[in-house]
Structure 1
């Protein structure tokens, strides 16, 4: 038990150290097999470098598979919300993305629709949180054509599912800002900046690089669930996750002196499944 407590106290090092060890072991085995096959030192070095990222990915998957055998996960209690999320647990599912073409927008719109169909009940809203790609100028006619197309497709989704009375789908898009270091116009801080400014926007801050948001974007959104563009939600997964976050025993307690959450949870990550 003492060893387990020490391991939990490592924080992120408890992930990085085992993953690094597994990666080194895999690369050592790969290098040994190549040496036995008679490859030259230069080729062994080249193929070892090429194998680095696949080895890291395999090590991370191996670590995730082994951890439950040694460290029992803490199962969190939570509200069931059988009738869907109530207003006090209002949630926005946000998908950071780039809008580059009509085809890419069509794909993102289809994904957004699937997210809704797997989590249709209660106070759950869905948004693309988007940037244009980097450019040599702030805005081009092609940019606006793509942006307007995305807005039209979002409006069609709302018309189909809600009649536009209270939209469930939104497009939150940012202007480019000039980055002197990169020498181009780009979305400020890229993905990290999108999420940072989204947090400000939802708290009522109008001083962001987002275009003016739809006035019907719900107020008092309490939780944000961020998804990669290629992630798929399972049925009722948003309700289950928010049910745990909103339970009184799991609510975060913030210590002003240390600037840390000392009890509860401010962030939860849903289990990932590879298809």
Structure 2
């Protein structure tokens, strides 16, 4: 019988620069060069138009826009032009069974009502059915919602409902259980809450596996103690968020990857990060079928199975989005106690940078998406705040893990990309208010063309992927075969161009509102991270955020700032010169009508186009 090695993650000196690290530096060099070229072209255009005095301000505002365009071009080149780094090996056959038996599938959840209970039970049921036999257990890790009190009157009823719902699933291929955490008083947040939310939950769960008893998990009943006793045999933790569902065999492929000896995590003791191998194996997220036009306009395209992400293909590792298999030994070696309390909301990225994540292309997870615009903007606000909280790591603050410079630059790139909508909105305002009246139209058209870059990049992908398949596959690499592959990609490219144009128009309609959302999130998070150090962990559960009143009145109350901004810009442009409104008018009307558009786009749509990269 094959047994697992439960020794700690190996600690070795860092290895010499690998092919992946060299490619990473070349990618950053290309990103920087393309960004600089775009800004230089903008400076030359301003000089030719006699607006050189505006160049410093315009180029500063345009910096996030240039970074976004350069990043889109770089990712397209990475996915289609570079020869992919070989995928990591995985266990197979009888060697996989012991690793699966040492895997716990966990469902971290914040429960705030019966809707959360139902979502949790359904998530466990769906994923238990598809994972089948193999995992040691399916375990719900539950925090009750924040409260002014340590114990709420409804806590016992919610806990009983969760236990009853999970018990109602009946016998299955693996046992199902639940563990609850106690609330602690958090003076920085101003209420009773579970320690460090999901990040704290995972850290304490790993401590529980180690046999520690000083966690906030409530191990009060015989059933709880029996669950904790079974954790001693757990080495791997597969974490799944509510509403998401693994596809068949995905769990086995994830465990098979992270448990392979050749993928063992190698830790650099000086930096406290994994420098080789993997501490995480994550699935490829694929969207559920959209139900509204807005959901269709924002959900990612279906990429054919077997095609890795741009980062995985080029650099051999990928970003972590919070769902996948963690090696608890590697987690313990590099993350236990490493992130200061009350310092970061979106912890997934930091965990991935510490542990090094592998994206497993044939392990797929169907991800719940957002159909209502108000729910989407609330989630976007939380994501922007979370990415802003990592500023101390980007700046290399003393006392924190010193991440590689290339990774810190990528985090800065992602933070800048959140300011894309604000930058583009500001540039439109400058074109309408500051440029000479005779040039206002040309600058508006130039900005519209730049904002349409996803149409070009996305519509080219099928053809480039088809050509890449010929160049990297067996057989001769003749011009005839390459031309045939290019022609085969024309039809899907045309469909993608039409779909991306519709998405672009919807993105333009919500541009001003998303600019205000991003600015508010960045300012709030920056102040909380650097000055007040309070309310960093502000969180609204998905079900509570999704409780949006269905009427138009709710949209009017929430979205009036964007409409007010559009009205103000229109009044000033008209006062300066009515001619400016010829070019500003169409966009300003869209922004003014954002409450109505958000309402209409969030209504269920019976038929939506189905587009993919092939």
TM band (smaller chain): 0.7 to 0.9
Equivalent positions of 1:1-275 (< 5 A) are 5-9=21-25, 67-71=78-82, 72-81=84-93, 85-86=97-98, 90-157=102-169, 159-161=170-172, 168-212=175-219, 213-217=224-228, 218=230, 219-275=232-288
- 1 or 2, which has the higher helix percentage? 2
CA drift at 1:230: 2.5
Aligned residues: 242
SS in 2 for 1:127: strand
CA drift at 1:260: 3.1
TM-score w.r.t. structure 2 length?
Answer: 0.35
SS in 2 for 1:273: strand
SS in 1 for 2:163: helix
Counterparts of 2:198 and 2:256, CA distance in 1 = 27
CA drift at 1:112: 0.7
CA drift at 1:274: 1.7
Q: RMSD across aligned C-alpha pairs, in angstroms?
A: 3.9
CA drift at 1:80: 2.0
CA drift at 1:103: 2.6
Counterparts of 2:74 and 2:283, CA distance in 1 = 17
Counterparts of 1:170 and 1:62, CA distance in 2 = 47
- Per mean C-alpha deviation after superposition, the further-off stretch among 215-224 and 254-263 is 254-263
- Per mean C-alpha deviation after superposition, the further-off stretch among 64-73 and 190-199 is 64-73
CA drift at 1:211: 1.0
- Per mean C-alpha deviation after superposition, the further-off stretch among 252-261 and 200-209 is 252-261
Counterparts of 2:72 and 2:240, CA distance in 1 = 20
Q: Deviations over 1:115-138 (max 9, x none)?
A: 111111213421221111111000
CA drift at 1:8: 2.3
Name the counterpart of 1:31.
none
- Cα distance change, pair 65–147 in 1 and its aligned pair in 2 (3 A): farther
Structure 1 unaligned blocks of 5 or more = 29-47
CA drift at 1:228: 2.0
Greater Cα radius of gyration, structure 1 or 2: 2
TM-score w.r.t. structure 1 length?
Answer: 0.73
The answer (yes or no) to whether the contact 1:252–1:262 under 8 Å persists in 2 is yes
Q: Deviations over 1:143-172 (max 9, x none)?
A: 111011111222222x3326xxxx621212
The answer (yes or no) to whether the contact 1:85–1:239 under 8 Å persists in 2 is no
- Cα distance change, pair 77–142 in 1 and its aligned pair in 2 (3 A): same
Structure 2 unaligned blocks of 5 or more = 1-17, 43-60, 289-614
Name the counterpart of 2:414.
none
- Cα distance change, pair 148–6 in 1 and its aligned pair in 2 (3 A): same
SS in 2 for 1:112: helix
CA drift at 1:202: 1.5
The answer (yes or no) to whether the contact 1:125–1:169 under 8 Å persists in 2 is yes
- Cα distance change, pair 81–151 in 1 and its aligned pair in 2 (3 A): farther
The answer (yes or no) to whether the contact 2:99–2:259 under 8 Å persists in 1 is no
- Cα distance change, pair 115–59 in 1 and its aligned pair in 2 (3 A): farther
